[in-house]
Structure 1
């Protein structure tokens, strides 16, 4: 894979006790040293005009000013330093780079993965939250839709971070040109993402939430990908498929109770790659969360390995009754013809 990366993203440092630390990117880079075919590419930062296609300009200017004055605690979870504004602009720029690469035809071993930070999927139109200041994947999706050369009419975003991507959902909730899918742990921060949150107005039916019960494992996530996610996104037929790639649903991540193994990320990548091929959609990844440094690095590495020719190992267990009920609720809410047997 080709990884979008900049040293500037290390300059955003919320402090040694904060889980969203620069060490996340250092761990990924160290792990990828052992892999063949890894390439790093920098990009231009996003200017405020591009960020303002998603975010309220007054909000953006307040973040810029807050950082220029030295930063501090924006809220109890979300902290900034002087360099955070530039890092956030760069992180969004790397996400847009990934879109450009994908839409210019990069596939297979050239598939783009933006590993910028701070992450973005909790940032709403006019506020920061959950470690996020700029919604990178939303900016990138809008960039694809606005760019005349790309000829993109529909974007799908699949968010497999263990936390609901509330910011991305809110931004596109009443629009039909972005289909947002989120798998997340039921009841976890920020407490949004119920099954019946499916969009409104023009966007009715273009939001799909799969709140998974604590303890859900690989085979149960895979059932969601092979069932409602596959059917809904195949019918939607996107021109671009973006993954909000958080890795905190891993069983060894310190802040969740979902039980995915590292192999699950290879399996989910494989299923989405197949879906992108079936719909002839460009395909790219944008980093979100993941706070156990070793498992974050291993999980990003296995996504790379999947594009480098490694075949995922299929699970052999059955779907639990609780997880099957959760998936069936999504199937019913979206009126899909999915056989879970």
Structure 2
């Protein structure tokens, strides 16, 4: 794969005890050194116009000035330093590069994956939260629409936390589909099944909150029977994955049980779906806070595009996941299956 990187992203350092720290990218790069076919690409940072395309202008000015004044605790979880604004622009720029590279024909071993931080999917139009300052996937989606005349973008979020920011930014629009599988009841407490969009965007948001303990088989069921048909019907030109790796069974801040092979399974599913939709495909890093499982997960995504075929789950989906599937399908008018 082609991985987008920026040294500026390491300058955003909320402290060693903060789970979202520069060691995350260092661990990923150490793990990728052991693999073949890796290419690193640098990209121009986003500018404030790019940020304002999805964020309120007053918020963009406020967070920039907050960082320029030395930063601090924006909220109890979201910590900024002076370099955070530059890092946020660099991270958003890497996500824009992902969209550009995918739409310019980056497929197979050249599929793009932006390794930017801070992450983005919790950042709403007018606020930072959940370690996020600019919504990278949203900036990239809007950039694709504005710069490439893309008509429709699908964002599938497999981070364990619901991407409330991405959902909110596009909630009333019909040109961006947002879908999320996440742990029920986890931060930020959004992402209920009945959150399906409003106005022109009704039906273009899909959420599947899974109970603690959900595993690879449950993810496969929900993706195959709910998200894949919805996205295929949406017919996107660009398919972005908000790729968090904190649903892993060994991540310290979640209770889901996705395995490393499970991330390979998910990668295979989104790759095959993108091919069926004839959509450009790219990945944007979100969460993942065990350095070992984060780096293994990113490495697994690469291995799939390098020819590895992961094993599927050996167990059947849980009854709880089947119930979630039935409710999701009902909310979106799929009928029974």
The TM-score with structure 2 as length reference comes to 0.99
Match of residue 14 from structure 1:
14
**CA deviation after TM superposition for structure 1 residue 328, in Å:** 1.2
User: Are 1:127 and 2:127 matched, yes or no?
Assistant: yes
Give CA-to-partner distance per residue, 1:139-165, whole Å, 9 cap, x none. 000000001xx2310000000000000
2:138 corresponds in structure 1 to: 138
Matched, 1:333 2:317: no
**Partner Cα distance (2:108, 2:50) in 1:** 29
CA distance in 2, matches of 1:213, 1:188: 10
What residue is the counterpart of 2:250 in the other structure? Answer: 252
Q: How far off is 1:338 after superposition?
A: 6.3
1:49 deviates by 0.7
- The aligned counterpart of 2:215 is 217
Give the aligned partner of residue 273 of structure 2. 275
- Superposition deviation, residue 279 in structure 1: 0.6
Name the CA distance, whole Å, in 1 between partners of 2:31 and 2:50: 33
Structure 1's 338 and 106: CA in aligned 2 closer, same or farther, altered over 3 A? farther
Q: Output the CA distance in 2 between the equivalents of 1:309 and 1:319.
A: 27
Judge conservation of contact 2:330–2:336 (CA < 8 Å) in 1. Answer: no
| 3-state SS, counterpart of residue 40 of structure 2 | strand
Q: Tell me which residue corresponds to 1:262.
A: 260
What whole-Å deviation, never above 9, does each CA across 1:36-72 have from its counterpart, x for those lacking one? 0001111111110111000011111111111111111
Are the aligned partners of 2:222 and 2:321 in contact in 1 as well (CA < 8 Å)? Answer: no
Match of 2:203 in 1: 205
Q: Which residue is 1:114 aligned to?
A: 114
Matches for 1:138-217 after TM superposition, within 5 Å: 138-147=138-147, 150-217=148-215
Aligned partners of 2:336, 2:36: CA distance in 1, in Å? 39
4+ residue runs over 2 A deviation: none
CA apart distance, 1:225: 1.1
CA distance in 2, matches of 1:221, 1:280: 23
Q: Residues 30-41 of structure 1: matches in 2 within 5 Å?
A: 30-41=30-41
TM-score normalized by structure 1?
0.98
Shift, 1:131, TM fit:
0.2
- Provide, for residues 242-298 of structure 1, a one-character-per-residue CA deviation record: whole Å limited to 9, x for no partner: 000000000000000000000111000101111100010000000000000000000
Q: Distance in 1 between matches of 2:249 and 2:149?
A: 40
Q: Is the 8 A contact 2:193 2:206 kept in 1?
A: yes
SS of the aligned residue for 2:327 comes to: helix
Unaligned runs of 5+ in 2: none
Aligned to 1:286: 284
SS in 1 for 2:133: coil
CA distance in 1, matches of 2:336, 2:3: 35
Structure 2 CA distance for aligned equivalents of residues 155 and 132 of structure 1:
21
